[in-house]
Amino acid sequence: MARRDFDPATVKPDGRAPSKGVLVKAGNEGPWRGSLEGLALGGPITVLAYGTDEVGKGPRLHVHPYDETFVVIAGHARFHVGETTIDAAAGEVVFGPAAIPHRFENLGPGRLQTIDIHHSPTWIQTDL
């Protein structure tokens, strides 16, 4: 099915050039595979890559002043967002609203890999 959600004639380029950056660097050790701030690309979001093979492991409880969207690429995760617990598997997406403390962990079996989209051109975080 072809989509036509808007008239392309009504949108004008803003002058930014296309760009690219490196998110995951070969040989990165540990769960944080990489991050790429939106400022480096001239865009409004920051992207992080997280992965672990250890069941029960994940980022510590933390909070951001902006929204965060998590894309589960592989495995199974349990997200704790404020008072809400959400289990998610590969192909699913979880939303964490601004100013709500959150964390997630690998439920296993096997590897958990996520792409974490920070709705900010810079990564701003306070660990709790």
Measured at the alpha carbon of residue 107, what is the angle toward residues 104 and 108, in degrees to the nearest 5? 135
The pLDDT value recorded for residue 88 is: 98
The pLDDT value recorded for residue 32 is: 75
Measured at the alpha carbon of residue 86, what is the angle toward residues 104 and 52, in degrees to the nearest 5? 30
- Measured distance CA(31)–CA(9) in Å, rounded: 44
The pLDDT value recorded for residue 34 is: 87
Q: Which mean pLDDT values do the consecutive 10-residue runs of the chain (128 residues) have?
A: 91 92 81 88 95 96 98 98 98 98 97 97 97
Q: Where are the domains of the chain?
A: 47-128
Burial of 60 (0-12, 13-18, 19+ CB in 10 A): exposed
CATH architecture of 47-128: Sandwich (2.60)
- Measured distance CA(36)–CA(80) in Å, rounded: 24
